[in-house]
Amino acid sequence: MRVAVCGTVGSGKSSLLSCILGEVPKLSGEVKTCGTMAYVSQTAWIQSGKIQDNILFGKEMDSEKYDRVLEWCSLKKDLEILPFGDKTFIGERGINLSGGQKQRIQIARALYQDADIYVFDDPFSAVDAHTGSHLFKECLLGALASKTVVYVTHQIEFLPAADLILVMKDGRIAQAGRYNEILGSGEELMELVGAHQHALTALDVIDVANGGSEKLSSSLSRSLSSAEEKDKQNGKEDGDKVQSGQLVQEEEREKGRVGFWVYWKYLTLAYGGALVPFVLIAQLLFQVLQIASNYWMAWASPVSEDAEPPVSMSTLIYVFVALAVASSLCILVRALLVVTAAYKTATLLFNKMHMAIFRAPMSFFDSTPSGRILNRASTDQSEVDTYIANQMGYVAFSIIQLVGIIVVMSQVAWQVFVVFVPVIIIFLCYQRYYIETARELQRLVGVCKAPIIQHFAESISGSTTIRSFGKENQFVLTNSHLIDADSRPKFYNAAAMEWLCFRLDTLSSFTFAFALIFLISLPTGIIDPGIAGLAVTYGLNLNTLQAWVVRSMCNLENKIVSVERILQYISIPEEPPLSTSGDKLPHNWPSEGEIRLRNLHVRYAPQLPFVLKGLSVTFPGGMKTGIVGRTGSGKSTLIQALFRIVEPTVGQILVDGVDICTIGLHDLRSRLSIIPQDPTMFEGTVRSNLDPLNEYNDDQIWEVVSLSHASFLSYFHILG
């Protein structure tokens, strides 16, 4: 049975379907469904991945059935155009597909499920009339003839084929019955039919038989005939080439050692690195004062009650307190300088990455899922904000402290270095062996989180489709696999760190034991007992610091990968400049509105085939030009080329004789206006979406709203 649902905008058609799907909580009454369901939303929901995976949607491949579905949905010609056919990888939200292609893939997904109940929410609005008629005939009247189908439509021509028509008005069913039964029994359906016929009549009465149109027609004919010849040549050339490369590529990650330039960039980004020497001087003074205070206590404290102290007790305390206060001041200065430099560096890195992303060309967003951008702007930026500065400080401070201990030990028990030097060499060998693995694991950690974010975002946006198809468990399982893939390198990284720590601690204990045995074995009187105690204390610190320095260096190289990844985004190629320093455009440009294309070739990426091939045509100013063609023929691409969202690869676009590639993007885009195929609404009020820059008063806004559609105006009055 086929049930058609129609009505004006805001009458409750989509809400009715949502109730059938169980997406809207009911306040009263009952909704009963028997069997499995498949749902096609009004706005196409496409997953990132292969076209084939989107159609199968978790089902096993049945080649015969799959081919039939492609034929029903008119997808075979589209797949032949794509370089990888149904193995072509679709970008986020189907970014590299036209609106009609996305809608037909969505319909194919529903047909392949072989469900009992099909719910279509105005699926033919995104396709042209011919394709819509084909889909209705092949899918609803053919493939789904024995199924229960509930479809919302604004196309009056699809209503007579329905077994039952529901006319919605103000959230209620105003009329119900077959087309012929309700056509004359009420006003609601008659209003819809009358509005449809009025729109068609308005188009029929447009008189284009004037001199300007004939001139336009002849101009277009000459241009198009020339373009057809070039297109044949281009098509032949393209056919000879092996089309390779997907629009969405794997996420880029560096290989091998982190370059010294990454460390240098991080250190010198804030104030040109002017604070770094002062941080090192403060730490160096602190270390000297620490050694001095320890040496002072070892020298000035009496060894026994019978021994006479070198200085008085008050002098001992005053000097020690003075050294402690000076050490504290050095630590305070060091901490303030580190925090200041870290804050400034993190802020500059974020601002530079933020600006680079906002100034990136559209091709970057076409090939980069939002999960990757969010990962670098959240996880990697968090490492820069909270970890890297401290870790870099730990490395520098530990090395200075280690040098200080070595100086003290060389004065007290230099024989310890007979063991210490070989152990340091072994430490460095372990560190080098470990870091080769840990560095790549850390890079994998950065790459593996983006798919989780992307999958989660897609699951949220397509939750209605997922639930209607009963695929919740499949998506939960996929999410679990992605989380496992993200956790795996983290676990291996932690295990590798434990492997390193065990060996470092073992060698450190061996070094300390040797120093202790050496000091105990010395004959009495060879060394002052206080100095010997100082040597043991520093030997214990030496034991810890050897391992700590190596561990800190390894952690730093792991975490500095986040800076490396942020710097990758900072170096994204920018769009052309917003304004140029050349001749300024006239204030009234474009005054005529003539658009001339000369041998225009456009493609979305260097590794992809041309979408527009040798267009040479002139659109006279002040006239309305319609661009038609099957889905995927390049209509939207041409509009994007006019705004330089996609840059022309070959050829020119002239607007009133000005090559748009020679002027700034702001100068160009501020003089043009566009109504996109997929509208975008920003969070906020309707007013803020209509006038985001607060340039117009209330009367002007209401006038525009009333001009757009009378029902639109009444809808806002209802909302208040």
The pLDDT of residue 336 is 94
Token pair 């040109």 is found at 272
413 — phi, psi (to 5°)? -140, 75
Helical segments of 301-387, H only: 313-358, 362-367, 370-375, 381-386
The pLDDT of residue 231 is 43
36 — phi, psi (to 5°)? -80, 155
Provide the 10 A C-beta neighbour count for residue 141. 14
Pairing of strands 595-602, 658-659: unpaired
What string of H, E and C letters represents the secondary structure of 466-490?
Answer: HHHHCCHHHHHHHHHHHHHHHHHHH
pLDDT in tens, 645-663: 888 889 999 998 888 888 8
Q: Omega before 590 cis (within 30°)?
A: yes
Specify burial of residue 338 (Cβ count, 10 A radius: 0-12, 13-18, 19+): buried
In sequence order, the 6+-apart residues with CB closer than 8 A to the CB of 232 are none
For residue 719, pLDDT over 60 is answered with no
d(CA 682, CA 677): 16
pLDDT in tens, 230-242: 444 444 334 333 3
**What's the chain's average pLDDT?**
80
The residue among 356, 301, 357, 290 whose CA lies nearest residue 329 is: 290
The residue among 381, 385, 363 whose CA lies nearest residue 373 is: 381
For residue 351, pLDDT over 90 is answered with yes
| Cα within 13 Å of Cα(672), Cβ side | 22
- What confidence tier does 527 reach under pLDDT thresholds 50, 70, 90? low
For residue 383, pLDDT over 50 is answered with yes
For residue 308, pLDDT over 80 is answered with no
If phi > 0 it is left, if psi is from -120 to 50 it is alpha, else beta; for residue 614 that is left
d(CA 92, CA 458): 8
pLDDT in tens, 54-80: 899 888 999 899 999 998 888 888 888
Token pair 């030097």 is found at 421
For residue 206, pLDDT over 70 is answered with no
What is the arithmetic mean of pLDDT over 86-112? 83
Is 553 within 8 Å of 427 (Cβ atoms)?
no
The residue among 482, 452, 367, 464 whose CA lies nearest residue 45 is: 464
E strands present in 572-719: 595-602, 612-619, 650-655, 658-659
d(CA 719, CA 283): 65
Using a cut of 0.85, tell me whether the model's pTM lies above it: no
d(CA 701, CA 686): 11
d(CA 489, CA 509): 30
What is the arithmetic mean of pLDDT over 360-377? 83
- What confidence tier does 679 reach under pLDDT thresholds 50, 70, 90? confident
Is 280 within 8 Å of 640 (Cβ atoms)?
no
The pLDDT of residue 226 is 45
Least confident of 392-396, 489-493, 685-689: 685-689
What residues are paired with 89 via a beta bridge? Answer: 50
What is the arithmetic mean of pLDDT over 188-197? 59
d(CA 647, CA 166): 47
Residue type, 659: D
What residues are paired with 39 via a beta bridge? Answer: 119
Q: For the chain, how many helices (H) and strands (E)?
A: 25, 12
For residue 326, pLDDT over 90 is answered with yes
Provide the 10 A C-beta neighbour count for residue 483. 15
Q: What is the DSSP letter of 574?
A: P
The residue among 159, 75, 160 whose CA lies nearest residue 111 is: 75
Is 468 within 8 Å of 587 (Cβ atoms)?
no
| 3-state secondary structure (DSSP) of residue 596 | strand
Q: What is the DSSP letter of 142?
A: I
The residue ranking higher by pLDDT, 228 or 413, is: 413
The pLDDT of residue 241 is 35
- What confidence tier does 192 reach under pLDDT thresholds 50, 70, 90? low
The residue ranking higher by pLDDT, 398 or 414, is: 398
| 3-state secondary structure (DSSP) of residue 642 | helix
Least confident of 283-287, 333-337, 675-679: 675-679
What is the arithmetic mean of pLDDT over 195-206? 49
pLDDT in tens, 583-618: 677 888 888 888 999 999 988 877 777 888 888 999
595 — phi, psi (to 5°)? -120, 125
The pLDDT of residue 338 is 92
Kindly report the length of the chain. 720
d(CA 480, CA 173): 44
The pLDDT of residue 303 is 60
